[in-house]
Structure 1
Amino acid sequence: MKHENVIGLLDVFTAEILLDQLRDFYLVMPFMGTDLGKLMKMERLSEDRVQFLVYQMLKGLKDLKPGNLAINPDCELKILDFGLARQAVSEMTGYVVTRWYRAPEVILNWMHYTQTVDIWSAGCIMAEMLLGKPLFKGNDHLDQLREIMKITGTPTPDFVVKLQSQDARNYIRSLSKVPKKDLHFVFSKASSNAVCVLEKMLLLDPECRVSASEALELPFFSEFRDVEEETEALPYDQTLDNADLPLDQWKRKRRGSALLLHNLLGQQRIFLLEYEIMF
């Protein structure tokens, strides 16, 4: 989790002394100032700022929507929230704003999905930065799909046969054929290099989308790219997260972890976020 484009954890502590009294603890994180969603509402972003922000997104890529991306006054970006990645499909697709940035295979549970779902999210956010408004603003799941297909066109037969759900295959085959739109027309004010990035990100078939590392090699990011900065994180160990423990053991582990990290990291106090632990 240590990455310059992922929010850092500077300290963790609890104000409680006795284990039985433990109800909350505090996470200390860098103060960033605003998030990308608020920034886009305040001003239209220039293409060079879009370049810099999307470059940073791709370096620290994870589950994304604009509100998950914190920005400081120097236009430095950090990814804030990883919680959405673990929600059940039924939970996360019910959240309207999140749906606008979700890959179609996740929204409609078409197939097992890979990390390219994050590439779709990044493409939607980049498109919004360039347009000044969301690209796919569906009212429900099926309307979201219709909005997407207005841009991507109707899926090809080769893609439809990959869908795991027979109902999904039947539904797609029943739709009227829609041609793919020319993104150079949709983003007429953007540079050719910017549109090239979107063309490789916003593809219905997840197997055809670029990976984060492939996207970073595109000419659009050459001005900012430093290959030595593009580190890859080790897989996250979810062993403890998936453990089934009694309440008193969870309390003991939470308090022990908080105190240990507090002692290791010292007394830095930049910004406090309180997390209530409901027992």
Structure 2
Amino acid sequence: MADFTNSQVMGVSFDIPTRYQEPQAVELDADGLVCSAADKILRNVVAVRKVTKPFGSSILAKRALREIKLLRYLRHENIVGLNDIFISPAEDLYIVTELMWTNLQRLIERGPMEDAFARYFSYQILRGLKYVHSAGIIHRDLKPSTILINNNCDLKISGFEHARLQGPQMTGYVVTRLYRAPEIMLTWQKYSAKVDIWSSACIIAEMLLGKPIFPATSHAEQFQQIVKLLGSPPSWIREMVTNSNTRGFIDCLPRCPRRSFADVFPNFDKEANDLLERMLVFDVNERINARDALSHPYLRLYHDPNDEPTVKETFDWSFDNTQTTVENWKRIVYKEVWKFRTLEVKHGNEMNMHMGGKPKEETVPINIVSTSDPDGHIMSGTEEFDDILSSFCQNFDSGEMTTSYQAESVTGSS
């Protein structure tokens, strides 16, 4: 077996290959423990996140598969990149990505941000969202803590655990409340990628304010604050609300006119206010999309339609409707890890990006991890680890599957 070392970090057992050394806690939350670690091969520092017991249930295994597939598929400068992935002897999943210096939440805690920084970060958020939305994917949990920043002010969106394909019915339990669009609160089974635009606007306003734009302690209070700023929702929006209690609550609210953002936020740049007014709109048909927001005057300094890519191929979500056993999901996850290591880490691939306007002549390589060190020497243990995965997976296709799901169909990967 490939060599693994065990460390106790914040009371959590952390098992990683000898390639990664000196793990130090970065963050511990409901999604798992994230550590920084020194990469012996690339001679830099990376982020390693532990997903504990991913095969504890069918739901957890399917969630792990969804995240792995999305990280393999999404290849963009403003999306956190997948460097490596492995499964420990205890069958915990570890995901290795580039290490970012901080996140927007920590920066905002220092107080209002200078407009120049807020403008640059806003552009990068929307540039990443244009790419994600072009794949038909909704992030569904954008918030300052999922927006990562390095010391060069480069921004990357993370936190795709709750991402889904836009469909006719969507679950309502998404998006941290302070960044939740009104259509999720009111008509939670019907919403689109525009919920990410609303969340982005809340983040942009929070960067400039130094605090949340709708700092409520409940859904009712939050909706009241939204109405005080945007005015009462149109009557046709009320008619779309299927819950009678929710309709009654809306009817009980006093009628409010829409306020001018320039009056409410006089310290904001006038173009920032104009962009926010186009993003914070009840009517999703009138709410601006990421592509059009990028061409707004507030972002003119950075906007370049030839450098704001979309996906080349649509993401294959067919697995997401599959119902099968934990053991079968486990096989599929192992297969996915093996495919990443053999097809991408060892051989490389192209980024899943289509450039608008005139295509770029050069192929942009994935930011992958090589299996050899900078001097060309193969790292001991890597081949052995891959042999174990290969052995586990070699009879995968002959295994008894209860569905017709084809594990090999990963759009944009193999």
**TM-score, scaled relative to structure 2:** 0.58
Q: Which moved more, 1:225-234 or 1:26-35?
A: 225-234
Corresponding residue of 1:155: 233
Say whether residues 1:27 and 2:95 are aligned partners: yes
Q: Which moved more, 1:108-117 or 1:48-57?
A: 108-117
For residues 110-138 of structure 1, what are the alpha-carbon distances to aligned partners after superposition, in whole Å with 9 as ceiling and x for unaligned? Answer: 66111111111011111111111101122
How many angstroms apart in 1 are the aligned matches of 2:189 and 2:235?
15
How many angstroms apart in 1 are the aligned matches of 2:370 and 2:93?
15
Letter in 2 for 1:14: I
Letter in 2 for 1:252: R
Query: Contact 1:110 / 1:164 at 8 angstroms: preserved in 2?
Result: no
Letter in 1 for 2:75: K
Identify which of 123, 127, 130 aligns with 1:55: 123
CA displacement at 1:168 relative to structure 2 = 3.6
CA displacement at 1:84 relative to structure 2 = 3.1
How many angstroms apart in 2 are the aligned matches of 1:247 and 1:231?
37
Larger radius of gyration: 2
CA displacement at 1:164 relative to structure 2 = 4.2
Say whether residues 1:13 and 2:13 are aligned partners: no
Corresponding residue of 2:285: 207
User: Larger RCO: Structure 1 or Structure 2 (Cα < 8 Å, ≥ 6 residues apart)?
Assistant: 1
How many angstroms apart in 2 are the aligned matches of 1:107 and 1:250?
33
Corresponding residue of 1:259: 338
Query: Contact 1:130 / 1:187 at 8 angstroms: preserved in 2?
Result: no
- Structure 1 unaligned spans of 5+: 17-21, 270-279
How many angstroms apart in 2 are the aligned matches of 1:147 and 1:268?
51
For residues 183-214 of structure 1, what are the alpha-carbon distances to aligned partners after superposition, in whole Å with 9 as ceiling and x for unaligned? Answer: 10221111111110000011112121001111
Identify the structure with the greater helix proportion: 1
Secondary structure of the equivalent of 1:26?
A: strand
How many angstroms apart in 1 are the aligned matches of 2:234 and 2:339?
54
Secondary structure of the equivalent of 1:241?
A: helix
Corresponding residue of 2:186: 108
Q: How does 1:142-181 map to 2 (within 5 A)?
A: 142-181=220-259
How many angstroms apart in 2 are the aligned matches of 1:179 and 1:9?
47
For residues 90-119 of structure 1, what are the alpha-carbon distances to aligned partners after superposition, in whole Å with 9 as ceiling and x for unaligned? Answer: x447xxxx1110101102336611111111
Q: Give the count of matched residue pairs.
A: 259
CA displacement at 1:51 relative to structure 2 = 0.9
C-alpha spacing 1:40/1:268, structure 2 compared with 1 (3 Å): farther
Secondary structure of the equivalent of 2:318?
A: coil
CA displacement at 1:162 relative to structure 2 = 4.0
How many angstroms apart in 1 are the aligned matches of 2:220 and 2:314?
34
Letter in 1 for 2:338: L
Letter in 1 for 2:99: F
How many angstroms apart in 2 are the aligned matches of 1:250 and 1:113?
29
Identify which of 307, 319, 334 aligns with 1:240: 319
Query: Contact 2:171 / 2:189 at 8 angstroms: preserved in 1?
Result: no
How many angstroms apart in 2 are the aligned matches of 1:146 and 1:53?
29
Query: Contact 1:104 / 1:145 at 8 angstroms: preserved in 2?
Result: yes
C-alpha spacing 1:200/1:40, structure 2 compared with 1 (3 Å): same
Corresponding residue of 2:213: 135
Identify the structure with the greater strand proportion: 2
CA displacement at 1:257 relative to structure 2 = 1.9
Corresponding residue of 2:204: 126
**TM-score, scaled relative to structure 1:** 0.85
Corresponding residue of 1:82: 160
- Structure 2 unaligned spans of 5+: 1-73, 130-138, 165-169, 347-368, 372-414
Corresponding residue of 1:44: 112
